[in-house]
C-alpha cells in the first residue's frame, strides 16, 4: 500500500491534532458559519458558491466532489454531482457533452462554454468515487460517467463536430475553441491514472498527455523563481492578452497559484523518483525561497514570473499561503517546514472572497496531512 507523506507530523503536530483539523476544515467549509455550500430546497442537489462572483462554477463543483471523495462524504458528493448533471451539463449545441463553466445559484446557465479544469476534476473524482464506494445506477455509475466524459473531451470533434479539450499533442487548452493553455490546468498525475481506467482505445493518448504536460511545465515555470503565468502559449511563454479576459494573465496571479500545488501533488503521487521529480523539487525550492526572501510587505503581492514586484496585492492571499505550503510535498529543507508551519497557523478566509482561498486551503490541508490519496 502506498504511503503518503504527512508534513504536519514533521512540524510537530500529533495525529490527533491533524485528524481533528482536517475534519474541522471540511465542516467549516460545508456547514460552518462561513460555509459556501448550499443545498436546493428539495434537498436533492448541493453546490458550492463562488462568493466573490455569486455563481457556481465547474471548478468549484468538481473541487467539492474531489474534497468529498477524499473525506469519504458520499452524501455531499452525490448532491454536488446531481447539481452538475442537472444544471451544468450541456446536452445539445456546439459544446454538447461538456459542462457550462458558470451557472447561477438558481440553476440558470450563465455561459454556454466549458472550462476544461472542471472536466478533468469531475473525471478524477468520479473514478475515485467508483473505487471507494462502488458504482450505482444512472448518473451514479461513476466509472462509466468518467470514461464517457474523457471520451468526449478528446474526441469531441469527431463525436459532435466541436472542439476537443486537449490538443493532438496532449496539452490541455484554456477553453476548447482557443489555442493557448493555463499552466494550473496541467495535471499529469491525473492523466497517468486516466490511462489506467479510461476506454482501452484512449490509453495511449493519456500516457502521452502526462508526458506532454510534464515537459510543458518545465517551460512554463521560471527557472529561478518557480513562478508560472496564469495563461501561456503551448511553449510555456506567458500569454499576453490584456483585453479578451478582463486584464493581464501573463503574470503570477490567482490562477497561477495552483500550478506549484499541482506539481507538489504529482511529486507525491507519481514522479518522486523520476527526472521530472528532481525538477519539481528544485522548482518548489525556488518558489519557496522566492517568497521567503521577499520584504514582509511584498510577500503576498503581484509578480512577473521573473520575480519583478508589481503594484497591488494578491486577491487571494490565503490561497497563496496554502499553495506555497503544498509545494512542500516536493520541496526539502527548512523552508519547506516553515511553509507548513505558516499554513498551519493561517485560519480559513472569511468575507466575500473566501470561496477560492478556502478550496485551495482544503486541498493543502488534505495534501499536507497525507490525506489527498489515490483511490
CA dihedral for 49, 52, 54, 56, sign (positive or negative) = negative
What is the pairing mode between strands 102-103 and 46-48? unpaired
CA–CA dist 253, 314 (Å, integer): 7
The Cα–Cα gap between 280 and 290 comes to: 15
Q: Are 77 and 65 in contact (CB under 8 A)?
A: yes
**Backbone region of residue 97 per phi and psi (left: phi > 0; alpha: psi in -120 to 50; beta: other values):** left
3-state helix, strand, coil in the chain (%, to 5): 55, 10, 40
Which grid cell is 203? 490509453
**Given the C-alpha cell 492523466, which residue does it identify?**
191
The three cell numbers of residue 335 are: 523552508
d(CA 359, CA 255): 13
* CA pair distance 78, 68, nearest whole angstrom: 9
Q: Which residue has the cell 451544468?
A: 88
Residue 21 has a CB neighbour count (10 Å cut-off) of: 15
Cβ–Cβ under 8 Å, residues 357 and 349: yes
Which of the residues are catalytic?
59, 255
In 3D space, the residue among 372, 362, 375, 373 whose CA is nearest the CA of residue 21 turns out to be 362
Q: How many residues are listed for the chain in this entry? A: 375
| 49 C-beta neighbours (distance < 10 Å), count | 17
At 215, which helix (H) or strand (E)? helix 203-220
What is residue 84's DSSP assignment?
A: I
Q: Is 282 exposed, middle or buried (0-12, 13-18, 19+ CB in 10 A)?
A: middle
Amino acid at each position: 500500500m502506498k504511503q503518503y507523506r504527512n508534513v504536519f507530523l514533521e512540524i510537530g503536530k500529533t495525529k490527533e491534532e491533524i485528524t481533528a483539523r482536517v475534519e474541522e476544515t471540511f465542516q467549516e467549509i460545508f456547514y460552518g458559519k462561513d460555509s459556501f455550500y448550499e443545498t436546493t430546497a428539495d434537498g436533492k442537489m448541493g453546490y458550492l458558491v463562488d462568493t466573490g462572483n455569486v455563481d457556481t462554477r465547474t471548478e468549484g463543483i468538481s473541487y467539492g466532489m474531489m474534497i468529498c471523495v477524499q473525506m469519504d462524504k458520499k452524501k455531499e458528493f452525490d448532491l454536488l454531482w446531481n447539481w452538475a448533471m442537472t444544471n451544468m451539463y450541456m446536452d445539445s449545441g456546439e459544446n454538447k457533452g461538456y459542462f457550462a463553466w458558470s451557472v447561477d445559484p438558481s440553476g440558470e446557465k450563465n455561459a454556454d462554454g466549458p472550462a476544461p479544469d472542471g472536466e478533468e476534476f469531475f473525471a478524477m473524482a468520479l473514478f475515485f468515487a467508483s473505487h471507494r464506494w462502488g458504482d450505482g445506477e444512472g448518473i451514479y455509475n461513476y466509472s462509466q460517467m468518467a470514461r464517457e466524459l474523457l471520451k468526449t473531451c478528446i474526441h469531441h470533434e469527431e463525436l459532435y463536430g466541436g472542439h476537443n479539450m486537449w490538443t493532438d499533442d496532449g496539452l490541455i487548452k484554456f477553453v476548447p475553441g482557443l489555442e493557448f493553455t493555463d499552466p494550473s490546468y496541467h495535471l499529469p498525475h491525473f492523466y497517468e491514472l486516466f490511462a489506467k481506467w479510461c476506454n482501452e482505445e484512449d490509453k495511449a493518448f493519456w500516457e502521452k498527455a502526462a508526458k506532454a504536460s510534464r515537459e510543458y511545465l518545465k517551460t512554463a515555470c521560471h527557472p529561478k523563481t518557480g513562478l508560472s503565468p496564469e495563461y501561456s502559449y503551448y511553449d510555456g511563454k506567458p500569454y499576453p492578452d490584456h483585453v479578451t479576459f478582463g486584464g493581464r494573465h501573463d503574470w503570477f496571479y490567482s490562477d497561477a497559484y495552483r500550478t506549484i500545488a499541482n506539481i507538489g501533488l504529482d511529486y507525491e503521487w507519481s514522479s518522486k523518483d523520476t527526472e521530472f521529480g528532481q525538477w519539481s523539487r528544485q522548482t518548489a525550492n525556488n518558489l519557496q525561497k522566492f517568497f521567503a526572501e521577499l520584504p514582509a510587505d511584498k510577500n503576498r503581492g503581484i509578480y512577473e514570473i521573473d520575480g519583478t514586484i508589481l503594484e497591488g496585492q494578491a486577491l487571494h492571499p490565503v490561497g497563496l499561503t496554502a499553495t506555497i505550503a503544498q509545494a512542500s510535498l516536493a520541496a526539502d529543507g527548512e523552508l519547506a517546514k516553515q511553509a507548513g508551519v505558516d499554513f498551519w497557523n493561517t485560519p480559513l478566509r472569511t468575507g466575500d472572497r473566501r470561496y477560492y482561498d478556502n478550496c485551495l486551503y482544503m486541498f493543502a490541508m488534505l495534501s499536507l496531512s497525507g490525506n489527498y490519496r489515490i483511490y
